[in-house]
């Protein structure tokens, strides 16, 4: 049998490597983590990385793609539900379909999703290969949301829609990064990891922004 092709239960060592790598990359970035950091913590040999993923980069790509597929499916489903309800849908409902699946995962019991989103925050803001990487894994799905927003905002300028999405993306990924800066800045009023409090505000914040930019067509 080929190495767990299509298998439901991949080799436990392979899985261990991915999961440890995910956490360490999220904490310290691609270049801040060595294969030895990963494999020693996983209790396996370095050579297994070559065997399963061919290289450090291969491991990184595999781990990025793994959850992207899951997340994209959930977001596509959420959008579909919203549009079934009414099309064009309210802007706020579309934004919510984009962010709610993330919130659900991030507050779940599984801490590895949190690590994954923290990693995405760094990728999204990486000037060297971040744009290309985010595009590869997420743009097909994002296009579905852009289409829905275009319908929800008739007469909107194309560039306006894309820039507003850009602002949403920045606000959203800084949230994942969970840097605890806000804890210090606010003197304890806010907590970086209080994702429910953030989500509750992010959706109306961004929706108001979209409507202000894309609906005032007398500029």
Partner DNA sequence: GTCTATAGCTTGATAGAC
Partner DNA sequence: GTCTATCAAGCTATAGAC
Q: Which of 1, 31, 109, 218 binds its own copies (CB under 8 A)?
A: 31
**Is 62 near DNA (CB under 7 A)?**
no
CA distances for 5 relative to 1, 20, 118, 135, 209, angstroms: 8, 22, 29, 26, 45
**Is 57 near its own copies (CB under 8 A)?**
no
Cβ–Cβ under 8 Å, residues 85 and 152 = no
CA 116/CA 145 separation, integer angstroms: 22
CA 40/CA 43 separation, integer angstroms: 5
**Is 55 near its own copies (CB under 8 A)?**
no
**Is 23 near DNA (CB under 7 A)?**
no
Determine the size of the site formed for its own copies (CB under 8 A).
68
CA 17/CA 24 separation, integer angstroms: 11
Q: Which of 19, 48, 125, 167 binds DNA (CB under 7 A)?
A: 48
Determine the size of the site formed for DNA (CB under 7 A).
23
- If you ran DSSP here, which 8-state letter would residue 4 be given? T
Considering the complex, state which of residue 7 and residue 186 has its C-beta at the smaller distance from its own copies.
Answer: 186
Q: Which of 44, 79, 142, 156 binds its own copies (CB under 8 A)?
A: 142
Site for its own copies in 83-102 (CB under 8 A): none
Q: Which of 97, 134, 152, 156 binds its own copies (CB under 8 A)?
A: 134
CA distances for 159 relative to 76, 87, 163, 206, angstroms: 23, 22, 6, 16
Binding site for DNA (CB under 7 A): 1, 3-4, 11, 13-14, 33-37, 44-51, 54-57
């Amino acid at each position: 049998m080929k190495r767990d092709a299509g298998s439901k239960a991949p080799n436990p060592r392979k899985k261990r490597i991915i999961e440890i790598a995910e956490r360490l990359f999220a904490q310290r970035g691609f270049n801040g983590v060595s294969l030895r950091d990963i494999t020693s913590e996983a209790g396996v040999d370095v050579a297994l990385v070559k065997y399963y993923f061919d290289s450090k980069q291969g491991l990184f790509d595999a781990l990025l793609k793994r959850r992207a597929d899951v997340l994209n499916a959930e977001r596509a489903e959420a959008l579909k539900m919203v549009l079934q309800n009414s099309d064009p849908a309210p802007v706020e409902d579309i934004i919510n379909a984009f962010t709610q699946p993330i919130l659900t995962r991030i507050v779940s019991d599984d801490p590895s999703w949190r690590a994954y989103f923290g990693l995405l925050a760094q990728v999204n803001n990486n000037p060297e290969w971040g744009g290309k990487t985010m595009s590869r894994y997420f743009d097909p799905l994002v296009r579905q949301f852009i289409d829905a927003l275009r319908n929800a905002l008739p007469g909107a300028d194309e560039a306006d829609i894309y820039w507003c999405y850009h602002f949403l993306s920045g606000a959203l990924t800084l949230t994942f990064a969970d840097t605890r800066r806000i804890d210090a800045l606010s003197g304890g009023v806010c907590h970086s990891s209080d994702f429910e409090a953030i989500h509750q505000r992010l959706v109306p914040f961004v929706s108001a922004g979209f409507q202000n930019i894309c609906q005032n067509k007398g500029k």
